Copies of this chain bind each other. A is one copy, B any other.
């Protein structure tokens, strides 16, 4: 039985949805906020700033990384994460397009 039909939608829709999914948990929004504040994006501090276990934070970081929104770099025994600006900009632009497409429709119905 065909469980999960995500592939049956357009590439654009899938990409935007994947991006949104990466942002769909408050922990991951928080992580991005933390990364934007720190001079050094060295993490571990992230763990201290969040009400989650280290392993859970690591998992959220992995998801953000797999979605392409952040980059990770190993520095000695630690990991340094930072925002993948390019990817973020691309998605923001896609999202803006969707938004403006919706805006055109404003007031035509209901």
Within residues 2 to 24 of chain A, which ones have a CB less than 8 A from any CB in chain B? Answer: 5-6, 8-10, 13-14, 16-18, 20-24
Copies per assembly: 2
Closest CB in chain B relative to A46 CB, distance in Å: 13
Closest CB in chain B relative to A98 CB, distance in Å: 7
Using known A-B contacts A17-B23, A24-B24, A26-B6, determine if residue A80 contacts B109 with beta carbons closer than 8 Å.
yes
Using known A-B contacts A8-B51, A88-B102, determine if residue A73 contacts B110 with beta carbons closer than 8 Å.
yes
Q: Let me know if A39 is at the binding interface, CB within 8 A.
A: yes
- A interface list, Cβ under 8 A from B: 5-6, 8-10, 13-14, 16-18, 20-30, 32-33, 35-41, 51-52, 71, 73, 80-83, 85, 88, 92, 95, 98-99, 101-110
